[in-house]
Structure 1
Amino acid sequence: MPGSADSPARVLVSVPPRLREQFFPDPAALKALGEVRLLDDHRGLPEALPGAEVLVTSWGVPPLTAALLDRAPGLRLVAHTGATVKPFVTAELWARGIRVTQAGAAMARPVAEVALTFTLALLHQVHRFDHALRGGLPWEAAEQAPPRREILGCPIGVIGASRTGRAYLDLVRALGAEVTVADPYHDGAVELDELLSTSRIVAVHAPALPETRHLIGARELALMPDGAGLVNTARSWLVDEDALLAELRTGRLDAAIDVFDEEPLSVGHPFRALPNVLLTPHQAAGTDPGRARQGRLVIEEIARYAAGLPLEHEVTPELLGRMG
């Protein structure tokens, strides 16, 4: 049975200290959940699990296998502070009646804002100017850039009307962009080829599913108009990185990228040297308000569980199959 005032939930928080401070800046909010135990390192999870009723997870937690779950026969809820739970959730959880929830909804806004930032930077060629000036080019040479554009009236294509995709859509529409969407589940969506061939900026927000592996490859990149830009704050899974690098080396397209096939991105990676590429180290969701919002969402879900109320962000086996 869920914890109550007489029998509070036993909560194990497997979140490293630095992240824990960001997710739960008010320690009292955690303590209000029940009997809370803090685990600083995921490697200690097997020894810490016995007696836990609720497990709060963060990135890097190991797969919750049958052998690990055998150590926590009373576990009833796993609450993830991030979005995707695919790296660690197994069918064994549902087989044992353990429920799963996650905080992805709290991450949509900051990621969408970074995607918007990328969009504006590519349209105004900020990345090229910055690269030229930092690279030591003379002022007159640094002034040279492809034609710049405004977002007002700009044709922008959005691949995937996910939570983040919808948040991005709201932002760019509010600034006057002309938007098309490619998503099999979105009303009014267009075909991917049409979107690619008619958009000045293409923003990728699709989930990482078997059918979306390298959704954007050499053929698709070739459909994009000269001077167009690709924005990817979603998953590197969606874009053929080798094909993108080959296209970018020609200078025909620009790109702004937050996610990579191999992270950390090596110091010598060719992306780093290209003037038509804007790079960030997989930090699109890492705002202080966003992280605190993720923590609040997790706390609220645990409170709903303890009160016997429906979870608002529950992950089911069916939903997991559609998640990135």
Structure 2
Amino acid sequence: MLRVVMAATPSFREMVFAPADWGRIEALADLRVLDDPRDAVSLVEALPEADVLITSWGAVPMTADVLAHAPRLRLIAHSASSVKHFVTDAVFDRGIRITQVGQAMARPVAEVALAFTLTMLHRIHRYDHAMHAGATWTDAIAAPPQHGITGSRIGVVGASRTGAEYIAMAVALGAEVVVYDPYLTDERAASFGVRRVELDELLRTSRAVVLHAPTLPETREMIGRRELALMPDGASLVNTARSWLIDSDALLDELRSGRIDAALDVFDEEPLPVDSPLRGLPNVLLTPHRAAGTVEGYLEMGELVADELERYAAGDALRFEVTAEALARMG
């Protein structure tokens, strides 16, 4: 049997691992569970006998010093999304393989991004804010023109896992989708039924701009004051990715002008302060970084971990393996 260490809080384990998937892991493994994923001391004590480490939110950075205590370790299976915050070069230097289950979050986040897009196009957020604020019927109706998604040009920045899920749904609903992504090939774009364009063209011509780009040095504030000014009057910006991608001060200025609308699930400061000026704007839809928070999505993460462990134990190819090259392009 594999010797497996899992570092995850009891609440995380209950949320992510259904009894059937927990049973699948126990059938494969001599399992040791650590309740505090941030406890480096306990992790180092458990690692010497571990073949596999299952990590979760708050994982201890896998530095050379930590891995020096893990002579048997051959696989790290991350039961959440990005591994970038704890995987170091030392992991790859030692030949340890990495797998993660971010795919389980792609669909829920894409669904929220699509819901945001439809809300922006139909101005539902403006009507809702006005009605809750006690506006008269006539005043509540006063909003920019509404549009349907069929025939609207939607600009997607980033054909990531989540971006690909979003694109499939938007295309299925009849949107004309254009994509900016330096890594997207013409062949893959054609398979999506979309067209590749440069960022400026996307911004100038899209009724809604939807961000799915990774957090990389080159994407820092890629949507700045100049880029926002390219968006047409009445256009909307949707961000369920990271606030890293946007110059937040420039966005606030544009939103205060009322020229564009926005739907935001991510912010520079989280929790979003109660006195944030974003909260008082009628052309902004806000949610508290919950785009990935579906019951089904969390349970799928546990299912995929169990799947990957079964593949590893059988000597089969891992479905969600992360290479050093792939990690360099991930957010």
Instruction: Report the alpha carbon displacement of residue 322 of structure 1 after superposing the two structures with TM.
Output: 0.8
Corresponding residue of 2:190 = none
Q: Does the Cα contact within 8 Å between 1:56 and 1:78 map onto a contact in 2?
A: yes
> Structure 1: where are the runs of 5+ without partners?
1-7
Q: Is the 8 A contact 2:214 2:330 kept in 1?
A: yes
Looking at structure 2, the residues matched to 80 and 130 of structure 1 have their Cα atoms a distance apart, in angstroms, of: 39
Name the SS for the 2:38 alignment partner.
Answer: helix
Q: Tell me the residue number matched to 2:214.
A: 207
What is the match of residue 51 of structure 2? 53
Distance 1:43 1:85, change over 3 A: closer
Is 1:262 the counterpart of 2:258? The answer is no
Contact 1:46 1:71 in 2 (8 A): no
Deviates more, 1:44-53 or 1:184-193: 44-53
Cα pair 1:232 1:258 within 8 Å, conserved: yes
Identity fraction in percent: 60
1:40 corresponds, among 21, 32, 35, to 35
Q: Which residue of 2 aligns with 1:4?
A: none
TM-score (norm 1): 0.94
- Alignment correspondent of 1:83: 81
In structure 2, stretches of 5+ residues that fail to align are 187-194
Task: Give structure 1 regions of 4+ aligned residues with deviation exceeding 4 angstroms.
Answer: none
- Aligned counterpart, 1:3: none
Deviations 1:276-324 (A, max 9, x none): 1111111111111111111111111111112222212111111111111
For residues 67 and 193 of structure 1, do their structure 2 counterparts lie closer, same or farther at Cα, with a shift above 3 Å needed? same
Q: Secondary structure at the match of 1:283?
A: coil
The Cα offsets for residues 24-52 of structure 1, whole Å up to 9 and x where unpaired, read as: 02132332231122222123343143322
CA distance in 1, matches of 2:63, 2:183: 33
| Equivalent in the alignment of 2:306 | 299
What is the distance in 2 between the residues matched to 1:288 and 1:237?
A: 27
Q: Which secondary structure does the structure 2 equivalent of 1:300 belong to? A: helix
Task: State the 1:141 CA deviation.
Answer: 2.3
Partner residue in 1 for 2:108: 110
Q: What does residue 118 of structure 2 align with? A: 120
**TM-score, normalisation: structure 2:** 0.92
Partner Cα separation in structure 2 for residue 45 and residue 102 of structure 1: 21
**Superposition pairs for residues 79-228 of structure 1, below 5 Å?**
79-186=77-184, 187=186, 188-228=195-235
* Corresponding position of 1:5: none
Match of 2:191 in 1: none
CA gap of 1:66–1:185, structure 2 versus 1, over 3 A, is closer
Q: Is the 8 A contact 1:80 1:103 kept in 2?
A: yes
- Spell out, residue by residue over 1:171-224, the C-alpha distance to the aligned partner (whole angstroms, 9 max, x if none): 111111111111122214111100100000000111111111111000000000
Of Structure 1 and Structure 2, the greater helix share is in 2
Distance 2:138 2:113 in 1: 30
